[in-house]
Amino acid sequence: MKKLYKSRTNRYICGVCGGIADYFGTDPTIIRLLWIIFSLAGGSGLIAYIIAAIIIPEEEV
């Protein structure tokens, strides 16, 4: 079973987008662009990122 973790290797701020990209098997740049569009479209993307950064655990070494 796959688990969602924050990425330790593919990160800019907290590794949330890198972890989501690893989980879905996509390019992290696409996830980051979608997150930026989501943030600019209503501002709730920033709040969602902060919540995700707190809730999603770090990737195990």
| pLDDT (tens digit per residue) in 6-60 | 888 888 888 899 899 999 999 999 999 988 888 888 778 888 888 999 998 988 8
pLDDT of residue 29: 92
Indicate whether 32 belongs to any domain. Answer: yes
The range of the structural domain enclosing residue 28 comes to 16-55
pLDDT of residue 12: 86
Domain count, the chain: 1
| 35 residue type, one letter | W
End-to-end Cα distance, the chain: 18
Question: Phi-psi category of 56—alpha, beta or left, where left has phi over 0 and alpha has psi -120 to 50?
Answer: beta
Single out the residue of 25, 31, 29 nearest to residue 48, CA to CA: 31
- Calpha distance 61→35 (Å, rounded): 26
